[in-house]
Amino acid sequence: MKRIAASASTLITVAAGLAVPGQAAAAAADRAPLVLAVDVSKPFKPVDHAASGGLYGLADEGWPADRWIAPTRPTMFTQPPPGATHRPNGEPAPVGDTLKVWQAAKRNGATVTIRLPDIFPTFPYQWQGDDYWYAQVDRIVRDTLASGADNIYGYEIWNEPQWTWNAAWGSFDEMWARTYRLIRSLDPHTPIIGPSHDRDYENGMRQFLTAAVASGTVPDIISWHELGTDRGVDIEARVQRYRELERELGVGPLPISINEYAAPRDAGVPGWLTRHVARLERAKVDTANLAFWHKPGRLSDLLVPVGGGSGPAYEAQPTGNYWVFKWYGDMTGNMVETTPPARAGRYIQVGDPVPAPSTRVPGRAGFGNAIKLNGTDANRYVAMPPGVLRGLTDFTVATWVNISSPATWSRIFDFGTGQGVNMFLTPQSGSNTVRFAITNGGGGAEQRIDGTAPLPTGWTHVAVTKSATTGTLYVNGEPVGTNPNLTLSPSDLNGGDTANNWIGRSQYADPLLDATVDDFHIYDRALAPAELGALLSAPGNGNVAAYHFDETAGTTAADSSGNERHATVTTRVDVPRVPQLDGLASADPSTRTVRVIFGGGDGDIQLKVAGLAALPHFGGKANVQIFATEWTGTDGVSDGPAPLFEGTYRVHEGAISVPVSGIEDSAAYLAVIRPERQAPRFPGPVRRYEAEAAAGRSAVVADPLASENRYVRANRLDFTVTAPTAGAYALDLRYTNPTGAPVHGVVTVNGRRQTIDLPPTATAAPFSTNRLHADLTRGRNRISLRLGPGTVGVDHIDVTPFRTRVEAEHGQWSGANLVTVDMGEGNFFAPYVSGDAYVANLSQPDSTLRVPVTVPSAGRYRLKIGYSTAGTEEERRAQIKAGHLLRVDDGPWQPVWYDPTQFRQMIRQTTAVVDLPAGTSTLTFAKATQPGVVDVDYVDVLLAP
């Protein structure tokens, strides 16, 4: 699969900050922690790093360097064939020729798949005739054999045939069989791979295998892609269904190569990719490659070139994703059983679905209220009653519409019984015009009226009339299209008894209308032009149906025609759900080490690791060290994994329970578990201080959901903490309060007092986190906790340098625009950006962005700005920087420079250092005379070291 631009609308998800591991998402505060169960005593295969490869992961010798490749322990790369002319995503010349990279792959322990159709220069492929194809296959195989390459995984005959193979070129099955026989005549031994179906492979696999069995050309390695959003994370079930098909057809079992996995939304998101790797491992695939979406030679978005841009990554830096695959490469011994809360999907439902309340908004001036459909609003579409068109021959349908986000084939209205029988009005057809259509025989039998352009954004009046056989389309009272042969009438549509009568929804799987609708009327005659003109200045009243949407709220849209044809508003259904936790684990008896990589979950989770008795030297205690790698953006540079905490856990019946609080779904985490006496020193500054180690009189209580499985009940605790630098810190107090009422207390930091309230905790989630901020001095600091009488328990305090994120969309801007990203499962090409929105096109001399930032104390802070840049491919390859001017409040300006990103919406970071006063101040980004076009996603404010 290749990169295709994403579309944009909105869905907001809740996540806790990586820098705040104790801060759980509020929506999940009263649920039991998700559990990832690991059983060390149940190995299911030796560690083989099956999912560590990449499509076009190598581009040339030294691109990337071995020092980046080797730690990921790649198993296989899929690369273009010898003599390829393919130029992926704007490359100025072909890259990744198998015969130029096979030795680099071999040095790093990997094999290479040769993707034959990359002999063509473009994607989708353009067939150049049978003679060309078979001559090229002949040459490719001969050149490969002559090269001495001895790590060829196989020849991949085609790629995503269900949409890249054109039936006009002939039968795909015949081409496959002939190509297979040609390869075998030249090379009897190297495996042949296919069919490499895309997301909907199940629809074509039966046909392909049946034909291959009949022709005696069954591939040696079966392949397909796991790119889908919802289905692409149900890998185990899909492998099982394929195995059932094999048994039915008497084939195999064949090795499975998932030679492309993960959608564009997953690229660069460590937690989400962890889900894929975990499920590929449990499915026991032979090999799997990260998909190619952006630029080659970067280990499929694990690396970026120094200085950014689209050019070669000879000199590279790691993204946050890289460390997931470095951790994966560090796994040795055997892969062992992991059991997540669920084995498929991105989310887990944790409550009953609830329809969101319907709302109204102010309409056009003088027209009362209106209904806003989609976007950030809960209203989805309006359903008029069945039979509303009954008896209509001549008619008028007229309405005001204010389009927020244009989408091809969305519907202002659509009346029908399905795709074969309907009449509709779309603001933007595939021909890029407003269109009315009516049909009794599907799309091919439509009678249409096309306008001259699509409907614009902003308030627009649109009407369709029919008089005898003449249909006319009006925009703002002016005719923009006519059809004198409109012979079909509404009454011809199933006798007018249409059941699907919608405002804002299509009979097809088209986008819902993202717009505000007002004053929607149906008349039983064609209004004259003067009557239509009157509707521009005052509300009308259709005599068939009339919807003014003047209610203040509610799912009923009243019909003012007197015919009692009241409509129903369908709203978004809110399904309480949390991101799906998943992970993979290895156990090595020779090193007595268990490694668990996990991610995708949100809030508080629990690792349950059983079977430790299967490893030698695990006595009564185990040392556990936890690390995290955060989302840096697909183009963002990572400073490396962050050590979070370590602890000593009692081994009971061969098992330990390790709670990890406040994880973020976009981040990935590593747990390294060893016998207590064999653990190396934990790197980095200490950030966790256990209550049972604090000074004070206390009672220690055992609890599997507590850090180190213990907490204390105490009215007074004194901690001594060490700060690596002076300044503002977050103090996250982990506690349990089963009293049912808030408990008040006092925290004193180096003699400075502040009060603290500890709300009650839930039975299902007995521990919660309360955050406060304090100034610490460099070195030793004294923190005293005084609680009122009661049964409050204290687990630990996490002490971390201050950090907060400010989303750009929460600021104010001029000379720019807001872009929201629809992260719904149907938007396959959605890019991942923080908060699912960003401020785009800060490109004009007067463009500004102002964001408020609040810090607990005055001091020097580092700003980490998430952004992407526009620009041509040439500018990006030349690493031409963009710039802004930045100031705090009315202070002096300083320049901020942005390295180019490889594409737009590929998030990277730049930094600036500022002095901030205590409280809230305003950061202003100004374009002025600085070069380039910049989109700003977020600003992280961190205590400067």
Q: Over the stretch 469-498, which tens digit does the pLDDT of each residue have? A: 999 999 999 999 999 999 999 999 999 999
Which residues sit opposite 690 in a β-bridge? 796
Burial class of residue 843 (count of CB atoms within 10 Å of its CB; 0-12, 13-18, 19+): middle
Strand order of the β-sheet with 752-758 is 716-723, 779-787, 743-749, 752-758
What is the arithmetic mean of pLDDT over 610-628? Answer: 93
For 835-886, write each residue's pLDDT tens digit: 999 999 999 999 999 999 999 999 999 999 999 999 999 999 999 999 999 9
What is the arithmetic mean of pLDDT over 195-208? Answer: 85
Nearest CA-CA partner of 765 in 800, 736, 730: 736
Higher pLDDT, 26 or 442: 442
| Lowest-pLDDT range of 533-542, 560-569, 790-799, 896-905 | 790-799
Q: Give the number of residues written for the chain.
A: 945
Q: Which ranges in 216-314 belong to alpha helices (H)?
A: 235-249, 270-282
pLDDT of residue 200: 65
pTM above 0.85, yes or no: no
pLDDT at 9 over 60: no
| Lowest-pLDDT range of 573-582, 650-659, 788-797, 864-873 | 788-797
Which band of pLDDT confidence, cut at 50, 70 and 90, is reported for residue 29?
A: low
For 872-895, write each residue's pLDDT tens digit: 999 999 999 999 999 999 999 999
**Phi and psi of 235, rounded to 5°?**
-70, -40
pLDDT at 27 over 50: no
Contact yes or no for 322/631 (Cβ under 8 A): no
Half-sphere exposure of 596 (CA within 13 A, CB side): 27
pLDDT at 4 over 70: no
Nearest CA-CA partner of 158 in 124, 202, 191, 115: 115
**Phi and psi of 66, rounded to 5°?**
-55, -30
Residue identified by tokens 């872009």 is 819
Which band of pLDDT confidence, cut at 50, 70 and 90, is reported for residue 788?
A: confident
How many helices (H) does the chain have, and how many strands (E)?
11, 60
Nearest CA-CA partner of 836 in 231, 7, 273: 7
Hey, what amino acid is at 301? D
pLDDT of residue 679: 85
**Rounded to the nearest 5 degrees, what angle is found at the Cα of 445, between the Cα atoms of 441 and 450?**
130
434-437 — which CB contacts under 8 Å span 24+ positions?
434/462, 434/473, 434/475, 434/480, 434/481, 436/464, 436/471, 436/473, 436/481
* CB neighbour burial string for 276-311, b if at least 16 within 10 angstroms, e if fewer: bbbbbbbbebbbbbbbbbbbbbbbbbbbbbeebbbb
Distances (CA, A) of 591 to 415, 542, 573, 617, 673: 68, 80, 50, 10, 11
Which band of pLDDT confidence, cut at 50, 70 and 90, is reported for residue 229?
A: low
Percent of the chain scored above 70 by pLDDT?
Answer: 96
pLDDT of residue 772: 93
Q: How far is CA 465 from the centre of its chain?
A: 44
Distance CA 332, CA 692 (A): 35
pLDDT at 699 over 90: no
Count of other CB atoms within 10 angstroms of residue 37: 17
pLDDT at 238 over 60: yes
| Lowest-pLDDT range of 3-17, 344-358, 771-785 | 3-17
pLDDT at 11 over 80: no
Name the 3-class secondary structure at 167: helix
What is the arithmetic mean of pLDDT over 564-589? Answer: 94
Count of other CB atoms within 10 angstroms of residue 244: 10
Contact yes or no for 78/194 (Cβ under 8 A): no
Question: Residue 420 has which token pair?
Answer: 């074969």
**Phi and psi of 650, rounded to 5°?**
-70, 130
Question: Residue 140 has which token pair?
Answer: 């490719």
**Rounded to the nearest 5 degrees, what angle is found at the Cα of 352, between the Cα atoms of 351 and 355?**
125
Element holding 523 (H helix, E strand): strand 515-523
Contact yes or no for 206/245 (Cβ under 8 A): yes
Distances (CA, A) of 120 to 78, 124, 136, 539, 873: 16, 9, 10, 59, 21
Count of other CB atoms within 10 angstroms of residue 824: 12
pLDDT at 18 over 70: no
pLDDT of residue 76: 98
Nearest CA-CA partner of 537 in 401, 366, 397: 366
What is the arithmetic mean of pLDDT over 543-564? Answer: 97
pLDDT of residue 344: 86
Distances (CA, A) of 933 to 870, 874, 899: 5, 15, 11
Contact yes or no for 433/453 (Cβ under 8 A): yes
pLDDT of residue 231: 54
What is the arithmetic mean of pLDDT over 678-690? Answer: 90
Nearest CA-CA partner of 68 in 291, 296, 309, 298: 298
Distance CA 519, CA 514 (A): 17
Question: Residue 400 has which token pair?
Answer: 């005001």
Which band of pLDDT confidence, cut at 50, 70 and 90, is reported for residue 576?
A: confident
In 94-182, DSSP assigns E strands to 111-115, 152-156
Burial class of residue 478 (count of CB atoms within 10 Å of its CB; 0-12, 13-18, 19+): exposed
pLDDT at 649 over 70: yes
For 343-400, write each residue's pLDDT tens digit: 888 888 888 889 999 999 999 989 999 999 998 899 999 999 999 999 999 999 999 9
Burial class of residue 4 (count of CB atoms within 10 Å of its CB; 0-12, 13-18, 19+): exposed
pLDDT at 47 over 90: yes
For 310-332, write each residue's pLDDT tens digit: 999 999 999 999 999 999 999 99
Which band of pLDDT confidence, cut at 50, 70 and 90, is reported for residue 6?
A: very low
Distance CA 911, CA 53 (A): 32
Question: Residue 447 has which token pair?
Answer: 């009678």
Whether the bond into 312 is cis, omega within 30 of 0? no
Nearest CA-CA partner of 547 in 581, 522, 572, 524: 522
